[in-house]
A and B are shown apart, each in its own frame.
Chain A
Amino acid sequence: VKPRRLRRIAVNAIGLVTIIAFAFPVYWMASTAFKQPGDIQTYVPKFVPFPPTLDNFTTAVTRPHFPDYLRNSLVISISTVVLALVVGLLAAMAVARARFRGRRSFLLLVVVAQMAPFEALLIPMYLVLRQANLLNQIPALILTYFIFTLPFTIWALRGFIAGIPVDLEEAAMVDGANRFQAFWHVVLPLLAPGLVATSIFAFITAWNEFLYAYVLMRDTANFTLPVWLATFRTAFGTDWGGTMAASTLFTLPVLVFFLLIQNRMVGGVTAGAVKG
């Protein structure tokens, strides 16, 4: 009995250390954000922000242009989601339900596009958008993020649609519904969770993106939140309270969204990879 007990204690101790290692950086961000100015730069760290204050958040949101950055980030992310979803749903519906020549090649194209290293395409993208007079314009980022998220959107939606039995649509069509009605009343309600998960993923991708936003946007008023945060050293100096408050505000929606779709995130890569 004794060695078992010892093993149990050891496993729990390792578990506790691991939990702290992964949770602490996020806790430290939030904790610093709520601290009084005098409690942040201390040689012996203060672990609990007591009494808490919202001053850092006020500092962060009253920085010049903050409303612009927030608006840009929201407009760009939401437009990306809508565009990728509309275009992606059309293609996903076709490849999931119909068999036609070139279907396989199209899916291969999707896989290759999904793997494309966008970091390496920065220069040509920059030049193309420059030619098109889109540098420093919000639509440039919407278009770029749309291309980033489209392959994934098609791939994921195709999987969700394939999971909906085709008999349901056929039954509706036997009952006199046309193809659009069958889609609208039968497929769409069943597809809703998949649509939500896919949109959230696209939203997070666009919301988090830094490199292209940093390179393509010149005017301060056109920055997105990540660009603003990345330049925090010039924006905030050594004001870690303000920096962490800004980081918390930026991260919060991502955390909430992520929790909603977390269960669906693991499966994709795993599917079919374990020999049964």
Chain B
Amino acid sequence: MMVEGQAETGIGPAIATPRRGGAPAHGRSAVARARRLLHYLPLLPSLFAFLVLLGYPVLLAVVISFQRMGLRELVQRTTVWIGLENYASILADPTFWAVAIRTLAFTAFNVALTMILGTLVALLLGALGRWMRLALSISLILAWATPALTASVIFQWLFDSKFGVVNWALTSVGIFGDYTNHSWFATGLSTFAVISLLIAWQAIPFVAFSLRAGILSVPTEQYEAARVDGATDRAIFRRITVPSLLPLFMILTVLSAIWDFKVFTQIWTVRQGGPAGETVTLAIYAYLKGIAGAQYGLASAVAVVMVVLLALVLIPYIRTMLRTQEDL
């Protein structure tokens, strides 16, 4: 998510080089060179943060993934290079494959759920009257603003087997059968269902608001021109609204995929990957291997695999982003 208020206008001549034309064409003086170096001074703290505080751990993750690194190696400060052994042992581990496939399926399901419902809510915002729209906006903001952790705790209370309001409601409606004392966290699939619902509940508002803003920013002249030409509502939606929103839709899908792929807090808070490890995803797997199991080398290899999988969607995304930001 980004905060961005104003449009990127008014990028005039750079104030830091006010005497651009005045410098002599040849033999740049030491003063001029020093002035130019001054531009980099305000960047130094950030560069330090990116290259050292962030870059070093990234590098370390790659390096450690080629080492045997456990508590013993850590305490004795020894380095044991084992080449690709960590990767080999992950790829040979059937649990890893189950976890990886589960993570991809979980991500795909959540993204689809979020995007479909988010689009419907965006359209609903447009169809409602003023007061209903305001009420819906407020309830969406409530869900959006709720911290992931609080949401995870609330959903456990909603889906509590004995006194949960969901079981009471389902039983009262009647057509779903008797849900008295039904345990939602007894099987992996059912636990995932609750977690997916929880993730979608928090992610839909952002998607809906973004799409709604996108719909509103389609130039009205296009609609008017189409209407003058005798286009039906359906044709206008299909020929104008959908194509203009496609880039935005793509961005939202990629962002949702990134967020859902690496989600940790909700899964961990709800059942720590249980029951019986059935809701362990890659993020949880890396945590269990690395922090809980103290197999740092192995966990780093898992992390590297995660980053590579993410990069497959991230690199095209960053490319598109660079293309749309003409200022870059």
Contacts and interface: CB of A to CB of B under 8 A. Distances in A.
A147 B213 contact: no
B154 A41 contact: no
A78 interface: no
Contacts of A43: 163, 168
A1 interface: no
B215 to A, nearest CB: 9
B124 A258 contact: no
22 contacts: A12-B129, A15-B128, A18-B136, A25-B143, A44-B168, A99-B14, A99-B17, A115-B317, A122-B290, A124-B303, A128-B60, A146-B49, A150-B46, A159-B5, A162-B8, A163-B7, A165-B10, A210-B269, A247-B153, A269-B1, A271-B8, A274-B247
B132 A12 contact: yes
A120 B2 contact: no
B5 A128 contact: no
B138 A270 contact: no
B149 A270 contact: no
Contacts, number: 357
Interface string B117-147: 0000100100111001001101111111111
Contacts of B269: 210, 230
Nearest to A276: B219
Interface stretch (B25-33, B89-97, B229-237, B250-258): B250-258
Contacts of A163: 5-10
Contacts of A267: 2-5, 213
Nearest to A87: B45
Contacts of B144: 258
Contacts of A112: 318
B157 A28 contact: yes
Contacts of B128: 11-12, 15
Nearest to B140: A22
B262 A117 contact: yes
A111 B317 CA distance: 11
Nearest to B165: A45
Contact of A127 (B64, B213, B325): B64
A72 to B, nearest CB: 15
What is the predominant secondary structure among interface residues of chain A facing chain B? helix
B24 to A, nearest CB: 19
A85 to B, nearest CB: 12
B81 to A, nearest CB: 16
A179 B8 CA distance: 22
A221 interface: no
Contacts of A119: 262-264, 283, 286, 306
A154 interface: yes
A44 B54 CA distance: 52
Interface of A: 11-12, 14-16, 18-23, 25-26, 28-29, 32, 40-45, 87-88, 90-91, 93-100, 102, 104, 106-113, 115-117, 119-128, 130, 143, 146-147, 150-152, 154-156, 159-160, 162-167, 169-170, 173, 179, 193-194, 197-198, 201, 207-208, 210-211, 214-215, 226, 229-230, 232, 240, 243-244, 247, 250-251, 254-255, 258-259, 261-262, 264-276
Contacts of A208: 147-149
Nearest to A273: B248
Given A97-B15, A226-B147, A275-B243, A22 B290 contact: no
Nearest to A228: B149
A120 B78 CA distance: 24
B3 A259 contact: no
Contacts of A90: 42-43, 45-46
A66 to B, nearest CB: 16
Nearest to B207: A269
Nearest to A95: B43
Going nearest first, the 3 A-B pairs with the smallest beta carbon separation are A163-B6, A268-B2, A23-B139
